Structure 1
Amino acid sequence: MNGAESLVATLVEQDVDICFANPGTSEMHFLAALGGNPGMRSVLCLFEGVATGAADGWYRMKDKPASTLLHLGPGLANGLANIHNAKRASSGMVNVVGEHSASHLKYDPPLTSDIEGLARPLSHWVRRAESADSIAWDTAQAVAKASEHPGQIATLILPGDTSWQRTEAERVLPTPVVTRRKTPNAARVEHVARVLRSGEPTLIILANKATRGVALERAGQVAAATGALLGSQFFTARIERGAGRVPIARIPYAVPLAQAFLKDFKHIVTVETSEPVAFFAYPDKPSLLKAEGTLVHPLVEEDEDSELAFDMLLQALGATDTAPRLQARIETPVPTGALNPVSIAHAMAAALPEHCIVVDESLTTGRESMNLTMGARPHDLINNMGGSIGYSTPVATGAALACPDRRVFCMVGDGSAMYTIQSLWTQAREGLNVTTIIFANNSYAILKAEYANMGAGTPGERALSMIDIDNPRIDWLAMAKSMGVPGVAVETAEDFYKAMTDSTREPGPRLIEVRL
């Protein structure tokens, strides 16, 4: 067994059984090892940002890390934007980054770079594998780190000679450590119970693991027992929502709207998150969005157990038998006529199939209209936590691989889609059930809004030319066809609804261009 084979065998033994790969010359032995181990699924991505984003999507739906294979420092650099998004979403992943052999590095070949320096700002754990004999230990530690709560980014650098050298000793692995989420502080729970018993208007902001599963149900019991409102930040890693789920209000993105939403709360209780902060700094607008005098009370820190915290809180409140209020099903009529944010949301509310996954990067088109899908059939909603655009099509790819029996809808603006459009090719190659919805307004419309928000004046012709993408206009149907994905363009709300429902009738990827 060589070092690369030892690495892959250890990944599989540690339950990391998928690798999103964009290999290069220095990783050929690792590539051979991936192909030689039947327990590992290898998925080829044509851009490193697709590989790292797909690993993020995999973790969000599976709650276990995937691995990536990246080629040297430049390959890692290409994937960093979506590693940033994954880190902000608390997604775990194991990045294997190829490196020149030690004997070759001294000659400073063209692809030499400071891989540790590139990796460290966005990694929780970085290590260079020093030998074929030690690589199993290093790999097991990388997986253990990535599997912590919250999920962590582990980066293992694999020199070529470490990869191809034969192992001389039996593989040795560290003693497995059962990672459990930390128990919330009892005094903190009792303090929040007193706040809730006061009857003063209180918002409980949920994030990460608290927006789904038993933790969300328990939060719904607390809300029903106390009258507190459950909310989320505008962007959340994954929310279980729709009919039959505990509803969560979404704090608006725009600063004035967020301030208006928060102004009447005397208390904010945070669960695996912090108090609401504006996404950007704007002239004459605050960074902190709460009203003056509002008190913030942490209930659950990011490394603690939300489900346990709400169990403790229900005990303190004497409300363990309270039933949560659940979202009713709202039968939305199929809309007709012009496409706009409201008619698009109504079409989605009517068309979303039960237990689908919605990956949202719709920006201007969907930003304020997603509340209109609250009464749709039960589904999962995934948002961009890090703000680096081009996250949605890779995350949708990883989510579809994680949940092959569920249809994934990827909502993305045309400007954002161009960052990682190579995802379509991987979706076609793997036969993934992804419907990519391109909102084609032929501009970076979000930047037009931000231009006004920043008080930069009226944009002139030259400034506008930097945020319009209609010269030349992108042919989305041709783009999709070139990568093996059937596509259709729609210009009315009823046609959009039909295209969405049609996309679920056959397996495999589809693209819908929504012409605005």
Structure 2
Amino acid sequence: MNGAESLLRTAAAHEVDVCFANPGTTELPLVSALDRVGGIRPVLGLHEAVCVGAADGYGRMTGRPALTLVHLGPGLADGLACLHNARRAGTPVVALVGDQATWHLAADAPLTTDLEAVAAAFSTWTGRSTSAAGMAADLAEAVERSRRGPVCLILPADLADEQVESGDSTRPVLAPDSAAGASGSTPVDEERVAAAADALRGAGPVVLFLGGRALSRPGLLAADAIARATGCRLVHETFPARVERGGGLPAPMRLPHVYADAAATLKGVETVILVGAREPVSSFGYPGLPSSLVPADAAVQSLAGAPQDSSDDAVNALERLAERVAGREGPPPARGTVRDRQLTVPSGVLTPETLSVTVAAGQPEGAIVVDESLTAGFDYHQAAIPAPEHTCMVAQVGGAIGHGLPLATGAAIACPDRPVITLQADGSALYTIQALWTQAREDLDVTTVLCNNQSYEIVKMEMKNADRPFGNASRSLLSLDRPEVGWSALAEGLGVPSIRVTTAEELAGALKAALSESGPHFIEAVIRQ
């Protein structure tokens, strides 16, 4: 076998079972090896951002990395925005980047780039194979290191094609952490748990600021027990990589995106305890305002670090904290309190509010909702609290848009038994609309609700908040109505059946029909902003 085959056999042995690929000439040894190695599903994406974003969605839902396969520096560059989001989310992803043959690098051919420099800013680790015999071990190390977020492994074409003897391709490369669990997480020290308990027993208002695994089902239940025993408030990140919601689960407040609203949410707090999250800061710098959203006189403590920064076990930390402040049993879970609230489909034209309620009312139990709706779906998070239990993934964890359609693609491959609903803004959909083709080719159960307001409304909102005047130039850069995008034609042309709706009743009917049959569907929802 050659180096590429030994690498893929190692990947399969490490339960890496899918490869989202857009290959070129330098990756042909790996493409050929996929034919000889069983257990790895090849999935073609028509753009590298689709491949990387899909790997992110797969990793968020399984906790295991997928492979992406991209072509040299330009191919990697095409996927960097989605790699940035995956890094901010702490998602396990292994990006395989083909490179020129070692003997051809000095020629500085047109596609040659400094791959290490390109990859370093967007991944948690970058490696380069220097021998065919070492490729299996390189892959094993990449998988291990991806526990903290996406990694890039550079594979010279001649080494991937070079023959190697069969050997122990699954040997561990990194010494295992004896304190780490199966997922690589490590219990936090008792001092941090004790310090958090002391803060919760203090006189001032306390916020538990949640992110990462703290937003899993067990994490939410433990946080809820702490809140009911101590009176602290639960708030979570504005853009959570994944959060379990609905069905009576505790529903922490989502920190608003707008600066004034976010600052008001934390006003008067004396202590912010971080659990699986970084200190909350504004997405952008505003003159005269501090970057941190935490009051200047408030204390900030870390119970468990964010997944992109540490291997801290946030769930275990919350459970131990709950035992300290609420007793071994703790208060009974506050479940079922929202199940009695019925979601009623509104009537009339679609607005951001009516769209959000209509989707929440129509989503089935077990749905995976990928949210890149931006301004059109600001109301969805609150509207979906009474919905059946579901998983919500916010696409733009790192702020890079165009991530929703690829993320949904990967989630559908990871969880073929669960329906996926994408709430997708129109402007960002145009970045990666090619993902629909992959959804059609793989016959994935993804229903895309395209929020069509014909503008970059989020940028308009920032203009208004900054009290900047709108002129002809700014209007021309923020509108998408000249010419109007033919969304139905685009979707149909990429193999996905499409329907256009303008009222809440039409959206409810289209959503019900799409979810009642297999395969991808596209609903263009025209919104009156």
1:185 aligns with 2:166: no
How far apart, CA to CA, are the structure 2 residues paired with 1:403 and 1:438?
22
Contact 2:234 2:253 in 1 (8 A): yes
Instruction: Give the root-mean-square deviation of aligned CA atoms.
Output: 1.5
How far apart, CA to CA, are the structure 1 residues paired with 2:288 and 2:385?
33
Relative distance call for 1:314 and 1:192 in structure 2 (3 A) is: same
How far apart, CA to CA, are the structure 2 residues paired with 1:208 and 1:363?
21
Name the structure 2 match of 1:295. 299
How far apart, CA to CA, are the structure 2 residues paired with 1:156 and 1:187?
38
How far apart, CA to CA, are the structure 2 residues paired with 1:275 and 1:72?
36
Contact 1:184 1:301 in 2 (8 A): no
Equivalences for 1:305-316 in 2 at 5 Å? Answer: 305-316=313-324
How far apart, CA to CA, are the structure 2 residues paired with 1:462 and 1:308?
53
How far apart, CA to CA, are the structure 2 residues paired with 1:446 and 1:307?
34
TM-score by length of 2: 0.94
**Which residue of the other structure, out of 249, 252, 255, is the alignment partner of 1:251?**
255
Name the structure 1 match of 2:457. 445
Contact 1:211 1:238 in 2 (8 A): yes
Contact 1:199 1:226 in 2 (8 A): no
Contact 2:419 2:446 in 1 (8 A): yes
Deviations 1:294-341 (A, max 9, x none): 222211123211122122212322522122323522211111112112
How far apart, CA to CA, are the structure 2 residues paired with 1:450 and 1:215?
34
How far apart, CA to CA, are the structure 1 residues paired with 2:190 and 2:455?
51
Equivalences for 1:116-131 in 2 at 5 Å? Answer: 116-131=116-131
Name the structure 2 match of 1:474. 485
Contact 1:132 1:167 in 2 (8 A): yes
Equivalences for 1:192-271 in 2 at 5 Å? Answer: 192-271=196-275
| Structure 1 segments of 4+ aligned residues over 3 angstroms from their partners | 171-174, 176-179
How far apart, CA to CA, are the structure 2 residues paired with 1:498 and 1:394?
25
The letter for the 2-side match of 1:237 is A
In structure 2, stretches of 5+ residues that fail to align are none
Name the structure 2 match of 1:320. 328
Name the structure 2 match of 1:24. 24
Deviations 1:154-192 (A, max 9, x none): 211111111111004634544365452222121221111
Most deviating of 95-104 and 40-49: 95-104
How far apart, CA to CA, are the structure 1 residues paired with 2:490 and 2:478?
21
**Which residue of the other structure, out of 150, 165, 170, is the alignment partner of 2:167?**
170
What displacement does 1:343 show?
1.0
Name the structure 1 match of 2:397. 385
**Which residue of the other structure, out of 389, 394, 409, is the alignment partner of 1:397?**
409
In structure 1, stretches of 5+ residues that fail to align are none
How far apart, CA to CA, are the structure 2 residues paired with 1:40 and 1:24?
19
Equivalences for 1:16-55 in 2 at 5 Å? Answer: 16-55=16-55
What displacement does 1:266 show?
2.2
Contact 1:141 1:174 in 2 (8 A): no
Relative distance call for 1:172 and 1:439 in structure 2 (3 A) is: closer
SS in structure 1 at match of 2:284: coil
SS in structure 1 at match of 2:195: helix
How far apart, CA to CA, are the structure 2 residues paired with 1:140 and 1:175?
7
How far apart, CA to CA, are the structure 2 residues paired with 1:164 and 1:3?
6
Deviations 1:420-454 (A, max 9, x none): 00000000000001011111111111111112223
TM-score by length of 1: 0.96
The letter for the 2-side match of 1:319 is G
How far apart, CA to CA, are the structure 2 residues paired with 1:314 and 1:443?
46
Equivalences for 1:341-380 in 2 at 5 Å? Answer: 341-380=352-391
Deviations 1:435-476 (A, max 9, x none): 111111111111111122234x21211221011111111100
The letter for the 2-side match of 1:186 is E
Contact 2:247 2:338 in 1 (8 A): yes
How far apart, CA to CA, are the structure 2 residues paired with 1:387 and 1:314?
33
The letter for the 1-side match of 2:158 is D
SS in structure 2 at match of 1:122: coil
The letter for the 2-side match of 1:29 is P
Name the structure 1 match of 2:10. 10
The letter for the 2-side match of 1:373 is A
Contact 1:283 1:454 in 2 (8 A): no
Contact 1:23 1:69 in 2 (8 A): yes
The letter for the 1-side match of 2:15 is D
How far apart, CA to CA, are the structure 1 residues paired with 2:293 and 2:358?
32
Deviations 1:257-299 (A, max 9, x none): 1122111322211101122211111233332222342222211
Name the structure 1 match of 2:518. 507
How far apart, CA to CA, are the structure 1 residues paired with 2:497 and 2:166?
52
How far apart, CA to CA, are the structure 1 residues paired with 2:70 and 2:360?
39
How far apart, CA to CA, are the structure 2 residues paired with 1:443 and 1:315?
50
Contact 1:300 1:306 in 2 (8 A): yes
The letter for the 1-side match of 2:63 is D
Relative distance call for 1:507 and 1:199 in structure 2 (3 A) is: farther
Deviations 1:198-222 (A, max 9, x none): 2532211110111013222211211
Name the structure 2 match of 1:159. 156
Most deviating of 359-368 and 162-171: 162-171
